[in-house]
Amino acid sequence: MTKILTGGVGKTEVAGTVTRLGLEGLEISVSNDMDAAMKLRNGQADYYLGTCHTGAGASLGILVGLLGSPLCHTFGRSVPTEEQVAALVADGKKVFGFAIDQIDVLAPLMARALAARG
């Protein structure tokens, strides 16, 4: 089971969007950045999806500070392809940030990539 935590201003919306997809093998929980960092460090979660208004900083600030930038990626205002997301996940990224106005596009894209990675 792949455990995904959500955080930031759109954390509930991200969790709802992913849950409605009905993908097998994913467990999604609403969290906050500090708890998520600790759970990721301790192996109690696998991934974090953070949202803020720009998708560039506040969505991941604490996680970058506590886990290091090599595990984190922010999409900012860009919308990646499925291939780009798969490449980031394959590269070991576990923490992703994006803008709240892109939840309807990026949350499903991320969920499918993480479910496929299983």
pLDDT tens figures, 97-117: 999 999 999 999 999 999 998
- Phi and psi at 35, nearest 5°, equal -65, -40
Residue 13: exposure state from Cβ atoms within 10 A (0-12, 13-18, ≥19) = middle
Question: Which tens digits make up the pLDDT trace of 11-62?
Answer: 999 999 999 999 999 999 999 989 999 999 999 999 999 998 877 666 688 8
Q: How confident is the model at residue 9 (pLDDT cuts 50, 70, 90)?
A: very high
* pLDDT for the residue 117: 81
* pLDDT for the residue 58: 65
Whether the model clears a pTM of 0.85, i.e. scores above it, the answer is: yes
Residue 46: closest CA among 104, 100, 105, 111: 111
Q: Is residue 81's pLDDT more than 70?
A: yes
Residue 89: alpha-carbon gap to chain centroid: 11
- Amino acid identity for residue 20 in this structure: R
* pLDDT for the residue 55: 73
Query: CA 99 to CA 47: how far, in whole Å?
Result: 17
